[in-house]
Amino acid sequence: MSVVQTIRDKLTERFAPTRLVIVDESHRHSGHEGARARGETHFVVTIVAADFAGLSRVARQRLVYETLADELATRIHALSLTTLAADEDRG
């Protein structure tokens, strides 16, 4: 299973997001530390979920990092997050 699909599955199962956008930016990091020939190492994720209501940005990101802990330890080199509660979503 691709890293993008793994991210999608885990975040969907954990948060039931109203919006989830995952962009693989690995091609922009070719030749950098952590980059692999096949890519799938650098990601930008935007997630909107009710679970984030009332939480700080840091608390929200910790929840995502906990959910993706295995991938962050093995397959993901860099992860940029935008975490929003439903009432903050302007997308």
- Domain containing 37 — which CATH number? 3.30.300.90
Average pLDDT value over all residues in the chain: 89
Lowest mean pLDDT among 21-25, 32-36, 62-66, 85-89: 32-36
Predicted pLDDT of residue 35: 47
Query: Domain residues for 40?
Result: 3-88
Q: Is the pLDDT of residue 60 over 50?
A: yes
DSSP secondary-structure letter at 16?
Answer: -
When divided into structural domains, the chain yields a total of 1
* Residue 57, number of CB atoms within 10 A of its CB: 12
Is 54 buried (19+), middle (13-18) or exposed (0-12) by CB count in 10 A? Answer: exposed
